[in-house]
Each structure stands twice: as C-alpha cells, then as structure tokens.
Amino acid sequence: MRGVIERLGRVRELGIVGATVVLFLGTGLSNSGFLSIDSFRDILLNTSIIGLLAIGQAMVIITRNVDLSVSSITGLSAFTAGVLLADHKGLPIAVVVVACVVLGALWGVVNGALVAYARIPALVATLGTLYVIRGVDYWFAGGRQVNAADMPSGFLSLGTAKIAGIPVLPLITLVVLAAVGWGLANFRSGRELYAIGSNPDAAVLAGVPVARRLLTVFVLNGAIAGLAGVLWAARFGTLDATVATGKELDVVAAAVVGGVAMSGGVGSAWGAALGALLLTSISSALAVLKVDSLAQYAINGLLLLAAIILDRLLALRVAARLRKKSRERSTETGPKVAEVLG
C-alpha cells in the first residue's frame, strides 16, 4: 500500500486534478450554478483551443525550447479559414482544415530550421516569427473582417455541435491529446525528446538525431496551431488580423502549470491539457465570483510562479535522492571490491 501511495505521489498530474476538483467544489459552494452541466460545457469549450495549443507547446518545452509564435500562427490560420470559406462557396470543410494545418506546419518548418540548424535560441527565433507572422496576417487581412454570416452554417456548427452531450471541439482536442500523449510515451522518437531536454549534449553522444527531432517538433506544433486556428474560426465566427493576440503566454502558462518543466526533459501532454483546464476553470470561477479582471491576471501569474517554484523544489528533491542512492551503492560496492582484491 505504501508503495502505491509513493508511486501516486510521483504522478505530477494528480496535483493539478486535485486543485481543479477543489476549485470546482469551493466555487460551487459559493455559486451552485458553477457546477451545472451548462457551466461544464462552457469551460470545456473555452479550454479546447488553449488546451490544444498547450499540447503542442508541451512537446517543444520538453526539448528545452519554447515557441512563442503559436498565437500568430493560430490567428493567420483562423483568418485564412474564414477567407477560404467566405470567398469560395461550396469548398469542402476538410480541404480548409488541411490547408490551415499545412500552413501552420510550414511556419513550423521556419521555426524549426532557425532553432535546429541556424542554432538561434528558440525564445529569440520564435519571438521574431511571432511578429513576422502577425505582420503577414495584417497584410493579408488588409483591414478586412470576416463575419459568421459569410461562412457556411455547416462549418460554424462545429463550434456548437455535440456528440452524446459533449461539445465537438473538446473531443477534437482529446483525440489530438491521446495521439500526442501516446506518441511521447511509446515511440522511440517521443522518448528521445525527453533525452534532448534532459541533456542535449548527451543525446548527441547517444546517437539521437537532435536537429531532426527539433525540426519535427516545431513542425508538429505549427500544424497543431493551424488546426487550432480552424477551431477558433468555427467557435467565434468573427475573424480579423487580431485573432489570438497575446494567447502565447496563456499557452506557455498552461503547459508549465501542467508540470512541463521549462528546463526540459520533464512533463507530459496530459499535464499540459490539465493545466489549460485548470487555468480556464480559474478564470471562469473568478468571473462567477465577480472578481476584477485585472486580479484574474495577477492570480494566474501567481499560479504560474508557484508551479515553477514547485517544479524546482521537486527537481532538487529528486537530485538529492539520486545522490543518496549513489552514495549507498558506493558504500555497498567498496567492501566487496576490497574482498575480491584481497
């Protein structure tokens, strides 16, 4: 029993689940409407896009990098989806989805090439492409706004449709989450991402194709951001060049709160998605409790700092435990070696 408890204690995601449950129960005691089915659905819808972006961001952060351009890719993809559907009546929705995913992946190639081959720090490279992509978005939009009335009802229904009472958008996010989470845990290439984040130099010596893996991660992250843009268009309908502005910080915060360490090599896609759910739930709870919007930013910032501090404390604890085990092995091995030599 003690062993089971210890193993559960090492599951980082359990803390997020516990915090989310406490948040729901605490807010529900103050306002019972927060625990209604409609409230849950709204939270799931609001989580779906940020959660999707956090899943892609988790892969990047695990490699000890970060992609700040995801909000701009999402915005450009969303506006592109709106223009294609508004200007080309009858264009299959699947074609629009594929086009936006490919668009996001192409920008991921740019980011990946700058980081993996040009050796530009990811923070600098993606900060630059954030502004470049947003500039392209403004040039493409030219002051135009696409409204829900311009797009087919079949596409907009994606933002409101339900399957067995569950909104479609969170289900799409769940499918992507399952694929990424399974890939990170079971594919050799997924496990190599953790090796790169833990120690890039050691990964190179171990034969890991670091540059190729980094390029792949940025491409996948860009493709996911492209898909998020399509979902944004279906969810909100009204589109212009400002779509998703500033959301990159929410995405990074969700991943870090979900246990993905900025130092690399630690975390999971599941944790990032749960982090997005927790942050979205906090925003909804604070709105229900009529807390000032500026205070919401402060609370989210404090939560992010707490997650980083907790992650650092856990890392120090693990390091101390490893040093202790190493000393114990040395103590046990010494007498045996002396006996053999004697």
pTM exceeds cut of 0.75: yes
Q: Where are the beta strands (DSSP E) in the chain?
A: 162-163, 166-167
213's tokens: 């893996």
Both tokens of 176, joined, read 């992507």
Provide the 10 A C-beta neighbour count for residue 159.
19
116 and 221 in contact (C-beta within 8 Å)?
no
Residue 169 is encoded by which pair of tokens? 């958008």
Tens digit of each residue's pLDDT, the chain (342 residues): 444 434 434 456 777 888 888 888 988 998 888 888 889 999 999 999 999 999 999 999 999 999 999 999 999 999 999 999 999 988 999 999 999 999 999 999 999 999 999 999 999 999 999 999 999 999 999 999 999 999 998 899 888 888 888 899 999 999 999 999 999 999 999 999 999 999 999 999 999 999 999 999 999 999 999 999 999 999 999 999 999 999 998 999 999 988 898 889 989 999 999 999 999 998 888 888 888 777 777 877 787 777 777 766 766 776 677 677 777 776 665 555 455 455
- Backbone φ and ψ for 69, nearest 5 degrees, come out as -90, 0
Whether 281 and 23 have beta carbons less than 8 Å apart is answered as yes
- Crossing angle between the packed helical segments 12-30 and 269-288, to the nearest 10 degrees: 20
Q: Is 167 helix (H, G, I), strand (E, B) or coil?
A: strand
